[in-house]
Structure formats: structure tokens, C-alpha cells
Amino acid sequence: MARKSLPPKKTVPEPVTAGWDAAGDLTSPELYLNRELTWLEFNRRVLHEAEDERTPLLERVKFAAIVSSNLDEFFMKRIGGLKQQVGAGIQNLTVDGRTPRQQIEECYAVVRELGERKRLLFGELLTLLRPAGIQILGYSEISARERKDLRDYYIRNIFPLVTPQSIDPAHPFPFISNLSLNLLVTLRYPRERETSLARVKVPVGAGIPRFLRVGDAHRFVPLEEVMQHNLDLLFPEMEVVACEFFRVTRNANTERNEEQADDLLSMIESELQDRRFAPIVRLEVAAGMGAVHRGMLAAELELNEAADVFEVEGMLALRDLFEIAGLGYPELHDPPHHPVDHPRLMTDRNIFHVIRDAGAILLQHPYDSFATSVERFLFEASEDPKVRAIKMTLYRTASDSRIIDCLVNAAGNGKQVAVAVELKARFDEAANIRLAERMEEAGIHVTYGVVGLKTHCKVILVVRQDYDGLRRYVHVGTGNYHPGTARLYSDLGLFTSDEAMGQDATELFNYLTTGYTPRRNYQKLLPAPKHLKRALLARIEREADLHSEKSPGLIQFKMNALEDADVVAALYRAARKGVRIDLLIRDSCRLRPGVPGLSETVRVVSVVGRFLEHSRIYYFRNGGDEEYYIGSADAMKRNLEYRVEVMAPVEAPELRKELRTMLDVQLGDRRSAWDMQPDGGYVQRMPGEGDDPRGSHEILVALAEKRRKAGARLKKKKARGVVRRPVR
């Protein structure tokens, strides 16, 4: 029987309505949830997917790895930033009334609770994997012959990469790299009492797996255990008194002042070096480490032993379970998903003719193929002799991306190519620097966005010489131009040849390539930071003003996070006037739904399932004259005020119908959806009698396949001449 979700956890000690005035005061801290705590609450939901028996076994392993990876990033980014604030003596309260130190303390309590749940889960998964033929074993659990074979493999393939480092008065404490797994080895010479210490890094990565296969079966021993039991290779004729495991996490917040940098590229490269040596924010030690060594490590790493050291029962660095999750057992995974060709694009016709005839095409990834839509768009643009220019933004992409090849090819074919590369895309800076250098060498005009702002929007502009003059073709997306994540993330994209949007895209790229900020006129696109926030607040207020019993107001937002306090306050005001508000929020949400007299008409739903929810949709009923927008921006202060973002209207009735279906499917999900409670906790929905037991992702996969089949039938009819294309 499926495990049921845990009851919602109380996140504030005061009653929800304490301290606020129903007549108008929306400044009370009790009305706003904490960003960090709500993000950790999201990871409870991800962890539940690993605990839920309805989830296929290797998918459960995958979710366990995702949670561990998420928490690593949380310490690097969020805890790292909070510690910087504490170090700088900042005592400013967040909108929810917490100091930086309070946030760290409360987050630590949640992280320790999640750690205990992960420990129990890992043991359960190991037990369940064994009957399936997958085993993660201790070194002592394998036979003597297998130990010999594993030792031989280790000597040939890994041992030359291992470097022991002494820790004593003659040697400074060694540099410990971020997220590295390490052995702390206590040694002594035979017949001597005095001991010494050495640190040995476990060389996972660059082709070295964490889990070493035993024989031909799916039986594995963690690399650190193999190293632990073969320390005689590193320390011959020494007595190994103890071997203890530890792992560190470093702060990733090392941004410098961009406005004072003469060369942004050099500044980012220097910043990456800074990050490598950034202060350590967390020390994880395997259970059983001696108190002396634990204290020594904490002191050397300049950590508070009582607060910043996390003792882990069982295996450290569960993020490496991705290796196990990727094993080829189809029956232990979700049914295979193959993105389908968009029905409009199931043709050999020039893609620009298809877009021009359609007016606009809505893409839903990963249900619609990224390769046969966005990549095809760029490929044909690079080859089409009538294309004069290609301009695009690049935030994250794969190092071997076909997109870069298309851009290089376009430049080689004599087209004007301009790319705004965001060098400050966290954890992708080095990759983006390499891609920028490659594109510049190919003659592409590369810029690095606007000083002081991250370029986060996802836009491609293609200028083509059509039969009636220059025409602009635009793609606006919610996700990165990354072929890998396009198969894992739920995103939207819009192709359009709309003249006004083409003019707006031209205006946007002129801004990105010059940084000049005089008034720019946008007819349809809503860019941040100049226009988007003001436009959102105005539309929320308009919805409240138009609301009536005969024409009830309706606002529906779908996004990753709702953090901006001004947007939350505006939604509260609209809700108090009776506007119904549906919020599909993946992770962080400051707003409390269902508070009497404040947000009774608001519901907040989080969908956690097979794909990572990443699309952004903003819907306003607008008295019956509906508005739909899609784009790159979450309702977060950083997105609305410190990033270049773009929201685009979806105007065609048939495309709005597709968005309506997506919203309705997710709001009606009875398998993967969670309802937020007023206190910030969540309760997972369970399908009742007569409910569709499938999650929204499975339903949307089926709908995409249905669209594909309908498109294929139409294509056959056209081929037989049953359907004639209008003459133009």
C-alpha cells in the first residue's frame, strides 16, 4: 500500500491571523512565509516521491539523488549567502520577520530532519533493490576472489589518481575541494604509539564512478570502501589505526562588482577561482568519527562544530545514486517517453513558411520534441539563403549543443549572428565562457548582456527576406535552450511571425547589445526590469476592480516560485475582494492560502512528478477578455527587478485552448499534486473513486500522443489531396 504523506509541519508559532489588520494592513510578517523554509518544504515533497511505493523503484532512487543534490546546492547558494550576511553583521529582517541567523538555525533543523528521513529511505531502497538483482555492498560482503579482482581493477584504473596528504605541523592543512568525499586516515609506524593523520580524496568524476561493479552482475561496492580496505597501497608497512569519511560544501556566492570590472570575462573567470577557495559552509562526517577528529576538522575548516557539522548515518553524498538510477531495468523505471513531433511541424516544408501560415505555434516540452522544433528552427535559419540575421539569448546549454553548431554554421554562411551570453548563469559560468570564445572565433557577435542585470530571458529572433519584404520570426521560451533539460523539464515555447512581437524582439536585442536605457516602446512583450512587474501589479489590480458576482474575477499563475512581497500583497488584496486565485507553484511560495478574511479564495498547488515543472504562465480573466502570457520570469524580486526577462502574450484562440487544457489538467491532478495549507505545510492529494489515478505528466504525455496521431492523419489526407492548402 502506498505510503501517505506526512501531516503538514507548522512553520510559525503564532496564529496565522496574528498581527494583521483585516481592514487593510498587509505588512505583518505573519502573512508571509519564509523563502528558504518553503524551498526546503519543496524538498520534502521531492523526498516523498522517493518514499512513495507507487513510484517505480529506480525512479525512487533517482528522487533520493535529486534531494541530495538539491540540498548541496541549497548550502552552496542559500546558506552560503545567509552566512555572508551574518559575517557582515546584517540584522535586517526579511518580509517574514527573520534575521539571517534565525533563518540558518531554522533551516538547519529542517535539514537534519530530512537527513534522518533520507537515512531510513536509503536502507529501505537497499533492501528493495536486492530482489531486483541490484546490490550496493560493503567490501566485507564480497568474496575473497571478488576482493582480489576489485583490488586489481583499482590498482590499474584508479590508484594512480589517488594522492595522500599528510596533516601535521610540517604540512599545512590541505585544501579540501567543494563536495569532495575524503578519507581521514590515522596511521602509525609498527611498534610505535604516536599516530599521524593523512587526508585522501576519493577521485569520483572524470570517468571514475562512485560505485565499482563486482563481476558482471549489478553488484557494486562504493569506491571509498575499496580505498579504505586497500590503504596498504598508499601507506606500505604502516598500521592503519582508523579510517573515517568526511565531505565539505563550499559557499558558491562569490560575485564581484560588475560595474567596476574592466573586463567582464576576466572578472567571471576570477570569480570562479574565488569560488573554488570560498569558505566552507558545511561539514558532513560519517557516523562514528571520533570527537577529537571531528573537532579538529571543524576548527581547521573554521566551522561551528555544534551547528555546522552534520553527522550522517550510512553513505555520504547520496547524489551519486544517479549512477544506480541510470541502470537499464525498464521495468523499474517510468514507461519510456519519446517526445513527439508537433503536429504543425510534421512536414518537410520550410519551417518559416509553416510558422507564417500558422501565425503562431505553441510548443509543450518535453511532450513536443525540442530537436524537431527549436533545433530545427535554428538549423533551417542557418541554411536558408533568405535568412539575413539570427539573434538569440543563451543562459544555459549543453557543451556539445547542436544549437551552437547551428549558430557557427550560420556565421560561416555569411549571416549576421548575435548572441547575448549570460556569463553569470550559476554553475555554468565556465561552460558559457568556453562557448562564448568558440562563437567569437567563428565570427559571431557575442555580448554579455546589460551591466548589473542577468539576462535570463529565452528569445530567438530570425530576420528573413520573405516574398513581401523582411519578416521577423520569433521564439519565446520558458526554459533554457538546452537539449538535455528539454527532455526532463516541463517548458513552453512560442513560435510567431507577429509583426509587433518581431518589432519588440528587435527592441529587446538592441537593448541587450548596447545596454542603453532610454525609453523603449514595447507593443506586446512585457520585459523586466522596466515593465513586467508594473504590468503584473496593474493586471492584478484590474482583476480586483472588474470582479463582480455576475463577472467573477479569476487569476491563475503557474511558475517555479512566488517570492516577491509586492506581488503577494497585490494577490491578497485581490483575494479580499473575492477574486478566485489559483497558483501552481513548484517550490517557494510566500503567500498563505485559505486564511479567513484574507486568502479564502486562494489555493496553492505544487506538482511534483516525473518531469521538473519549469514553465511560467500568467492568466487573467479580465472581465471575459482573457489574457495569457508565457515567459521566463518567476514572481521573484530578483527576476522582476534584477534580471532581463520577457513575457509574451498568447493570443490565438487555439493556442489559448492548449494552455487552458494544461492548467486544468494540473489543477485537477490527483496523483502528483500537493495542496498548500495556511501554515505552509502541504498535503498530497490521493485519487478517490472515479478519479484518474494518473499524474498530470502522464496525462499530458497521452494528450501529446493524441495530437501527434491527429496530425499524422491530417498529413496523410493532405498527401492524398483530400485537404488543400490555401493559395497565397
The sign of the torsion formed by the CA atoms of 211, 214, 219, 225 equals negative
Closest CA to 35 of 109, 83, 95: 95
- Cα dihedral sign, 374-585-282-63: negative
Handedness of CA 204, 205, 211, 213 (dihedral sign): negative
- Give me 297's grid cell: 576538522
Q: Annotated binding residue at 54?
A: no
Active site residue 456: yes
What are 344's three cell numbers? Answer: 504543425
Q: Name the DSSP class of 277.
A: T
- Residue 622 per-residue DSSP state: G
Round to whole Å and give the CA distance between 207 and 478.
33
Closest-CA residue to 503 (of 458, 468, 471): 471
What are the residues whose beta carbons fall under 8 Å from the beta carbon of 361, sequence distance 6 or more?
342, 344, 345, 354, 355, 494, 495, 496, 655
Are the C-beta atoms of residues 390 and 416 closer than 8 Å to each other?
A: yes
628 is in an annotated binding site: no
586 is in an annotated binding site: yes
Grid cell at residue 333: 523505471
Rounded Cα–Cα distance for residues 253 and 397 (Å) = 22
Distance between CA atoms of residues 250 and 319, nearest Å: 16
Instruction: Please answer whether residues 587 and 70 qualify as being in contact, where contact means their C-beta atoms are separated by less than 8 angstroms.
Output: no
User: Alpha-carbon distance 54 to 326, whole Å?
Assistant: 19
Contact 551, 532 (CB under 8 A): no
User: How far apart (Å, rounded) are the C-alpha atoms in residues 363 and 360?
Assistant: 10
Residue 253 in marked binding region: no
Contact 714, 51 (CB under 8 A): no
d(CA 471, CA 716): 30
Question: Which residues, listed in sequence order, are joined to residue 420 by a DSSP beta bridge?
Answer: 393, 447
What the block records as the C-alpha cell of 653 is 484562440
Closest CA to 297 of 399, 184, 385: 184
Q: Is the peptide bond before 169 cis (omega within 30 degrees of 0)?
A: no
- Cα gap 260→182, rounded to integer Å: 38
Query: Are 581 and 602 in contact, with CB atoms under 8 Å apart?
Result: yes
Cβ-Cβ contacts under 8 Å for 21 (sequence gap 6 or more)? 28
Q: Which three cell numbers stand for residue 675?
A: 495542496
Buried residues in 566-605 as b, exposed as e (16+ CB within 10 A):
bbbbbbbbbbbeebbbbbbbbbbbbbbbbbeebbebbbbb
CA distance 226 to 413: 54
Which among 48, 218, 342, 456 is annotated as catalytic?
A: 456
Q: How far is CA 230 from CA 3, 180, 226, 385, in A?
A: 41, 20, 6, 63
Q: How far apart are CA 716 and CA 174, in angstroms?
A: 68
Q: How many CB atoms lie within 10 A of CB 635?
A: 28
Residue 70, marked binder:
yes
**Cell 574565488, residue located:** 274
Mapped onto helix, strand or coil, the DSSP state of residue 128 is helix
Kindly report the backbone phi and psi dihedral angles of residue 270, in degrees, each rounded to the nearest multiple of 5, phi listed first.
-70, -35
Over the range 334-351, which residues count as b (16 or more CB within 10 Å of their CB) and which as e? beebebbbbbbbeeeeeb
Q: Is 614 annotated as a binding residue?
A: yes
Locate 543 and state its grid cell: 482583476
Radius of gyration of the chain (CA): 28
Instruction: List residues with catalytic annotation.
Output: 456
- For the annotated binding site for ATP, the residues are 70, 489, 586, 614
Binding-site residues for Mg(2+), in ranges, read 396, 426
Q: Which residue ranges are tagged as binding site?
A: 70, 396, 426, 489, 586, 614
